[in-house]
Amino acid sequence: MTTPCTACPLRKSSVFTPMTSDEVAFMTRFKTGELAVDAGTPIMMEGANSPQLFTALSGMGLRYKTLQDGRRQVLNFIFPGDFIGMQAALMGEMGHSVEATTAMKLCVFRRSDVWNLFKTMPERAFDLTWLAAVEENFLGEALATVGQKPALERLSWALVRLFKRAQAVAMTKGQSMPLPFRQQDLADSLGLSLVHTNKTLARLRERQVAQWSDGVLRISNLTELARIGDIDIEAPVTRPLM
């Protein structure tokens, strides 16, 4: 019924570390199905103990935390290949919510099989930990950005990050990429108000550095954008796919 991992369209991408046939066979058993959700669907709720874990196959989404008064912090944007549910898998409770921004296809795993993965597939367990470490690393960089940089630099940092992520999974066409979020989402990810985010995006547009409209981000001057955002443009590291 469900596509076996041998036929996974994502695995072909050169960004993802190749798997041995043993690993692919294991993942096929680990996988319990596929899930297609509409835009706007909540996938995981903060505090919930989800019995399912996912890998995003297509579409985009976002991770966020909600505060008591309704304010929202977007932690990260979800791209194809991203693993969803790490905290549920390990600690049994999610620290944030996840929702689909566009329609998405997800690969589904059983949480209860995670221990089996550690016991019988150390390579895959290592990969899982690697993903956790990368996410930790990203959040550290995001915290430094939100904590220390002024608005123009925050936006530039975020746009470079998004563009590099998109490049890694071949979602870019030249200097463009789909960016199907609202300005409010980006604002909430950077600790800025919607109004100020809008005005700062206008500045980047005027400066001929980057423009974002109708769900498409166009980078006119990546070097300059990276300079403003104080971020390196390094070749993407290959990363494991769960």
Partner DNA sequence: CGAGTATTTGATGCAGTTCAACGCTCGTGG
Partner DNA sequence: CCACGAGCGTTGAACTGCATCAAATACTCG
| Span interacting with a second copy, options 11-19, 26-34, 138-146, 199-207, rule CB under 8 A | 138-146
Q: Pick between residue 111 and residue 149 the one whose CB is nearest to DNA.
A: 149
Instruction: Determine, following the binding rule CB under 8 A, whether residue 126 of this chain makes contact with a second copy.
Output: yes
The residue (of 52 and 145) whose beta carbon lies closer to DNA is 145
Integer Rg of the chain from CA: 18
| Helical segments of 52-121, H only | 86-91, 114-120
Name the percent of the chain in helix, strand, coil, to the closest 5.
45, 25, 35
* Buried-state track 84-111, b at ≥16 Cβ within 10 A, e below 16: bbbbbbeeeebebbbbbbbebbbbbbeb
Residue 201 binds DNA (CB under 7 A): yes
According to DSSP, residue 236 is labeled: P
Q: Which does residue 196 touch among DNA, a second copy, none (CB within 5 to 8 A, set by kind)?
A: DNA
Q: Are 37 and 103 in contact (CB under 8 A)?
A: yes
> Residues 20, 21, 68, 112: which binds a second copy (CB under 8 A)?
68
Name the minimum Å distance from CB 97 to a second copy: 11
Supply φ then ψ for residue 8, to 5 degrees.
-60, 125
Q: Looking at 147, 174, 206, 234, which residue binds a second copy (CB under 8 A)?
A: 147
Determine the size of the site formed for DNA (CB under 7 A).
18
Is 129 a binding residue for a second copy by CB under 8 A? The answer is: yes
Residue numbers 209-238 binding DNA by CB under 7 A: 213
Per-residue binding string, a second copy, 31-50, x by CB under 8 A, is --------------------
Instruction: State residue 163 phi and psi, 5-degree precision.
Output: -65, -40
Identify residues 15-34 at the interface with a second copy (CB under 8 A).
none
